[in-house]
Amino acid sequence: MSNTFWQLRPLRLVLGVWTAWVLLVGTSTAQPAPRPVAVLSVASVDALLDDFAYLARVAGRSEVSGFVELATSGFLQEIDRTKPLGVLITVGDDEPEGIGFLAVRDLDKLLQMAHDKLAIEVDSLDNGIRKAEVGQGVYLKQHGGWLYVSDHPRHLARLPEDPVAMCGGLDQQYSVALRVFVQHIPPGLRDLAAFQLHAKIDQDIQAAKLEDPDLDRPFLDSVGRGLKQSVNGFFQQCDQLTLGWAADSDQQRVYLDLWATAVPDAALATALAELPRAPRTLRGAVVPDAAMTIHAGLQLPSQASQAFQAMVAYLRAKALRRLAQDPAAPAVLTEIASTVFDVADRTATDAVIEAAASVVVAPHASRVVAAIRVADGRAVATALQQLYKVARHQPDVPAAEFFAARAGNIDLHRLNIAVGQHDEDARKVFGPALDIVLGTSSDHLYLALGQQSEELLQRTVDPPDASAGAPEDDNQLLAVRLAARPLMAFLAALEPDQEKPRRMAEVVAAARGGDRVALTVEAIPQGLRCRFEVDEGVLEMLAKSATPEQDGTD
């Protein structure tokens, strides 16, 4: 070998050892923090206190928020009240590991305060970790401007530089939120959860009471297989689940959201994208001044449509068997049932579901209107006409007129029911007579109950005036809304001697905020969002009606 090689060999050895050391240290101390399987996000201490103050003001108890602020001010001095805080949950060795985080200005002062006021002892351990003697022990470590807290020191070995980034903006959307990253859960744990759910499905199906074993068992077994497929699809293709709550003082409401998103390009994402493609043809059944409205419209994915068809086939077999076993059942009932189930099967095959309804309340004059999309509304009308011919000779069957009139392309059928004197509750709601109008077309059924029901049905059939209000969101799959002011005024009028309905009606009538309680489900990119929302006026009504009425004196 040359002299040059021997001269360079010590240098090469040093460089090799140094490189190995860098690699070893780098992999042991600079590893990135593990991906969380769940994140609990809190917007900030100030945000929570603001929400509490808002809710206390709505409830007429503003002094309570002031007391809470005063009681907690000492403990919050060394905490950055403007920054988010929360918990990161990871999985190590198939066990969950929780790490809390919050921004602290001076940890030493905070610990000294805990010692002075709560007699909490704190010991210093290796690697900057401290142990607070609380319960089995709480371990603390300050890193990158954040205080991390856990129940075991090993959980503090790898910490994120910015825990807020792992919240994915939840702190900007909600006061408190929890997000689960389904695909970050180790496959073994997901399989275990799916196995347990499969076992619960099998247990429930085996425990079901069977009236017709040869019909019930195959159907229940198919339902079980479908549920298991759905469970497997969830764990394999669901990306994130998010639950978030917020109080919005500007919009005068509180709301709770549940989000679910699918893995991009997965079959679940494709199925969810199909849901909002259904036509919106029944918005006229959503009456603006109603106490309650419902509107649902969605395009069923192929798997859901097949399940719908299987259920129709099962119900058909059950119904026809019952008719065949009843010697008193007229033969025409089998024909009527077959017609109805044919329409239901074709509706399931079309895979378009849309329904809407409104309830307008007034003492002795309440009205209801509803509509649903079906494959052949006229066939249903003919079946009902046949059924009426069978039943009309029975006592107390009211007179009916089928195909009595038309409204555009809608056939109208009328029925009038006298509300007996003995049925006082029904008379309070509808008055002395209940008018019923059924409308049928090639692809819809309409129903209106109450006084001037035909006029109400006509409003349903006619296209709504787009300028009358904000247009409906085409991505909205379900909307259920209650209006507290007309509903509580109605209930108070029905029971004038009851103090609580009267007080609730008075409070919500005088409240400055809105009076809606709403549940909506809408399509979002690769997922769904379900929102439960309560307006300020309803919160005020619930809070103030739950406490004794104030007499204005101290």
Residue-by-residue pLDDT tens, the chain, 554 positions: 444 333 434 333 333 333 333 333 333 344 555 689 999 999 999 999 999 999 988 888 877 767 776 666 666 777 888 999 999 998 877 778 899 999 988 888 888 888 777 788 888 888 888 888 888 889 999 988 899 999 888 889 888 889 999 999 999 999 999 999 999 999 999 999 999 999 999 999 999 999 999 999 999 999 999 999 999 999 999 999 999 999 999 999 999 999 999 999 999 999 999 999 888 888 888 988 899 999 999 999 999 999 999 999 999 999 999 999 999 888 899 999 999 999 999 999 999 999 999 999 998 889 999 999 999 999 999 999 999 998 888 877 888 999 998 888 899 999 888 876 557 788 888 888 888 999 999 999 999 998 888 888 887 877 555 444 444 567 899 999 999 999 999 999 988 888 888 999 999 999 888 999 999 999 999 999 999 999 999 999 998 887 655 444 43
What is the spatial distance between Cα 228 and Cα 232, in angstroms, rounded to a whole number? Answer: 6
The pLDDT value given to residue 552: 43
Q: Whole-prediction pTM value?
A: 0.85
> Could you tell me if residue 167 is inside a domain?
yes
∠ at Cα 108 (105, 109), nearest 5°? 70
Q: Please say which residue of 233, 266, 294 terminates a domain.
A: 233
Query: Could you tell me the residue range of the domain that residue 139 belongs to?
Result: 38-184
CA 57 to chain centre: 27
306 sits in which H/E element? helix 302-325
> Could you tell me if residue 101 is inside a domain?
yes
Give 25's contacts (C-beta < 8 A, 6+ positions apart): none
> Could you tell me if residue 214 is inside a domain?
yes
Confirm if 350 and 342 have CB atoms less than 8 A apart: no
154 and 48, same structural domain?
Answer: yes
CA 493 to chain centre: 33
49 and 145, same structural domain?
Answer: yes
Confirm if 139 and 148 have CB atoms less than 8 A apart: no
Does residue 30 sit in helix, strand or coil? coil
Q: Please say which residue of 166, 198, 233 terminates a domain.
A: 233
Give 519's contacts (C-beta < 8 A, 6+ positions apart): 478, 479, 480, 481, 530, 531, 532, 533
What is the spatial distance between Cα 542 and Cα 320, in angstroms, rounded to a whole number? Answer: 49
> Could you tell me if residue 219 is inside a domain?
yes
In terms of phi and psi (left: phi > 0; alpha: psi -120 to 50; beta: otherwise), the region of 523 is beta
Outline where DSSP puts E strands in 104-203: 122-124, 130-132, 138-143, 146-150, 176-181
What is the spatial distance between Cα 274 and Cα 255, in angstroms, rounded to a whole number? Answer: 27
Among 318, 280, 312, 272, smallest CA distance to 296 is for: 280
205 and 158, same structural domain?
Answer: no
Cα separation of the two ends of the chain: 104
Confirm if 421 and 335 have CB atoms less than 8 A apart: no
51 and 102, same structural domain?
Answer: yes
HSE, CB side, 13 Å, CA atoms: give it for residue 282.
30
Confirm if 268 and 303 have CB atoms less than 8 A apart: no
> Could you tell me if residue 47 is inside a domain?
yes
The pLDDT value given to residue 32: 57
197 and 180, same structural domain?
Answer: no
Confirm if 273 and 526 have CB atoms less than 8 A apart: yes
**Domain tally for the chain?**
2
The pLDDT value given to residue 29: 40
Among 466, 482, 492, smallest CA distance to 519 is for: 482
What is the spatial distance between Cα 222 and Cα 216, in angstroms, rounded to a whole number? Answer: 10
What is the spatial distance between Cα 251 and Cα 242, in angstroms, rounded to a whole number? Answer: 22
Per-residue 3-state assignment (H helix, E strand, C coil) for 335-372: HHHHHHHHHHHHHHHHCEEEEEEEEECCCCCCEEEEEE
The pLDDT value given to residue 109: 83
178 and 123, same structural domain?
Answer: yes
96 and 170, same structural domain?
Answer: yes
Q: Please say which residue of 233, 268, 291 terminates a domain.
A: 233
153 and 104, same structural domain?
Answer: yes
The pLDDT value given to residue 73: 64
The pLDDT value given to residue 254: 96
106 and 58, same structural domain?
Answer: yes
> Could you tell me if residue 445 is inside a domain?
no
Confirm if 501 and 312 have CB atoms less than 8 A apart: no
> Could you tell me if residue 82 is inside a domain?
yes
The pair of three-digit structure tokens given for residue 413, joined into one six-digit string: 């059928």
Give 238's contacts (C-beta < 8 A, 6+ positions apart): 182, 183, 260, 261, 262, 263, 268
150 and 177, same structural domain?
Answer: yes
> Could you tell me if residue 203 is inside a domain?
yes
142 and 70, same structural domain?
Answer: yes
The pLDDT value given to residue 102: 93
What is the spatial distance between Cα 420 and Cα 433, in angstroms, rounded to a whole number? Answer: 9
What is the spatial distance between Cα 190 and Cα 242, in angstroms, rounded to a whole number? Answer: 18
The pair of three-digit structure tokens given for residue 407, joined into one six-digit string: 């409204």
160 and 51, same structural domain?
Answer: yes
